[in-house]
Amino acid sequence: MIKILKLSLIAFLFAFNFAHSFPVDSLELVRNNEITKQELFQHLKYLADDKLEGRFPGTQGDIDSRNYIISEFKKYGLKPGNRDDYLQFFSFQREFKIAGNNYTYLSTNGKTLKLFLENDWYPVSYSENGKFNAELVFAGYGINSDNYNEYKNIDVKGKFIIIFKGAPGFKDKRIPEYLGKDRYKISIAKELGANGVIFVNPPDYDDEIDLSLVDDLSQKSGLPVIQIKRNIIAGLFESEGLNLDNIYKEINSTSNPQSIALKKSKIEMQIEIEKKEVETTNILGYLEGSDPVLKNEVIVIGAHYDHLGYGERNSLDPSKTRKIHNGADDNGSGTVGVLELAQKISSNKDLFKRSVLFMCFGAEEQGLLGSDYFVKSDLFNKYNIVSMINLDMIGRLENNVLVVNGTGTSDTWEKLLNETNSNYNFSLSLGKEGFGGSDHSSFNRKKVPVLFFFSGIHSDYHKSTDDYWKINYDGQERILRYVYDVAKIVANLDSKPLYVEVTENNQPTRTNFKVTLGVIPDFSYNDKGFRISGVKQGSLAEKAGMKSGDIIIKLIGKDINNIYDYTAALGDLKKGDKVEIVYIRDGVETSVSIDAE
């Protein structure tokens, strides 16, 4: 307790001293047409406040955020970007609620234990509904890889599998990150014929039921999936003459699987959950260019304004306790960057020959849903977009290193960036790839030249500790002044930047797959199969003749019902394998075979 109080005091003093470095507590008292750290601070102090509860799509915090942004756009004299509206509404499946009669009974040695919903167990949001009755097996962490297979000596067909969340921390074996993902484990369990999955927190986690565990509702799991408290499972093990803690230690100390059938135990359950759609928005403000001809070409300057709410499925907090995730850097920093750029550019509109569309995207954290919706809409076709500048996490500049990706999407970019940098002297880290985990990727799919500005990952990423007083406002101001100069040059080029498709270089990916097809998922798709929204140049998919809109339904003989089945099958591929793909295009099923290079 004393240690906690000391840490709390340190955090308080840090925030207190930081606030006194910005003594004016009013945006109106510091407002001006320049890009300033004082304005950035005031904007972000509002958008990353606890009152907005993490800006999760469809919440009051989402609505308050969009109202704030629209109010600023109006102050700058920006016109509504969606005809007469600043908003472009779209919806996605997010919320689920308990409906009907949900129950779970565990029986062992002739005794039956009733579990209490929310206290002892809870369904995961993407679980299938129905009544189930099955035997139980334990499969460690549910890992199935070349060097560590917890299913090797156990039959799981028709049974419920008890699985630790996460992945083991072996010293002598490397477990790829994707193997520890819940949805990947479920795909493996389904492929092996399991009847359901029970997730349990391992002993180094809190023994709590996560009532906020909402995953991608648009992608069905194909199995019933629930959480059960560890102490209940430990009691079940004791009735089988086993010790769960000792088994956990044995797995992690020996790097050997400890899977076992619980021959005396069964589960009986019923799950009834309902899912509903949530509405959120993109926010658009338009500034017409000054040139009578070039004003018909549009530059998009954008950032996503949503974050994780109370953590939800993407939280990286070590504790799974429900906490507000304010997302000051991710992506409050990019959002307030759009505001400051919009203010300065609108005050200098005569200096911008091309028009500028300022955008704040919704539901990026759910899979780039907002930007994906925009580029597929008639509104995208209305604008003649010639380039897109994306700001995501620009608030933690460290060691003067600024990452700019997308430089290979136009021959214009690299020279322009380096020459403009002579006034700022950033240590630029330039990446050619135009795809990636932020909203520029949606525009790149549409063959729009993109630039993605990013100050780097840090220890508070996707945690409840990403707060506004940790932002490097001096660095953020410099980044935005640099972006302003870049945007101004692009707006006044004699000829628009021409799009160049970046050829895939087959470098190892962060998911550690040995082979990738080189396709971009369509995260908005919620039907059976895995629909692709883009194909990378030089990739296996391009060589196989695949195109945007194709729906993969089978890969290397495995049924593909969703993105998680796809990644599970992908994890089994090795270089030199024959890759058999079955996909649907325009209602016609097609098969293709290609060698994995």
Residue range 403-458, pLDDT digits in tens: 999 999 999 999 999 999 999 999 999 999 898 889 999 999 999 999 999 998 88
Whole-angstrom distance, CA of residue 490 vs CA of residue 104: 61
Domain ranges of the chain: 28-94+277-491, 101-271, 519-595
Residue 123 pairs in a beta bridge with: 226
Residue 527 backbone zone (phi > 0: left; psi -120 to 50: alpha; other: beta): beta
The CATH classification of domain 101-271, taken from the options 1.10.630.10, 3.50.30.30, 3.40.50.300, 3.30.559.10: 3.50.30.30
Higher pLDDT, 508 or 223: 223
Residue 95: helix, strand or coil by DSSP?
Answer: strand
What's residue 7's pLDDT? Answer: 40
The pTM (predicted TM-score) of the whole model is: 0.68
Residues 254-272 have a mean pLDDT of 95
On the question of a cis peptide bond just before residue 418, with omega within 30 degrees of 0, the verdict is: no
- The per-residue pLDDT of the chain, averaged, comes to 89
**Residue range 91-147, pLDDT digits in tens:** 987 777 888 899 999 999 889 999 999 999 999 888 999 999 999 999 999 999 888
Please state which CATH number belongs to domain 28-94+277-491: 3.40.630.10
Give 218's contacts (C-beta < 8 A, 6+ positions apart).
92, 93, 523, 524, 525, 526
The continuous run of DSSP H or E covering 375 comes out as helix 369-376
The CATH classification of domain 519-595, taken from the options 3.40.50.300, 2.30.42.10, 1.10.287.370, 1.25.40.10: 2.30.42.10
Whole-angstrom distance, CA of residue 113 vs CA of residue 135: 15
SS3 content of the chain, % helix, strand, coil (to 5): 30, 25, 45
Pairing of strands 450-454, 401-405: antiparallel
Give 84's contacts (C-beta < 8 A, 6+ positions apart).
none
- Confidence tier at 9 by pLDDT (50, 70, 90): very low
What's residue 196's pLDDT? Answer: 97
- Confidence tier at 80 by pLDDT (50, 70, 90): very high
The rounded radius of gyration (Å) of the Cα atoms in the chain is 26
Whole-angstrom distance, CA of residue 424 vs CA of residue 408: 22
Give 466's contacts (C-beta < 8 A, 6+ positions apart).
48, 325, 326, 327, 328, 329, 330, 460
Residue 272 near residue 98 (C-beta atoms within 8 A): yes
**Residue range 561-572, pLDDT digits in tens:** 887 788 778 877
Whole-angstrom distance, CA of residue 55 vs CA of residue 410: 34
- Confidence tier at 313 by pLDDT (50, 70, 90): low
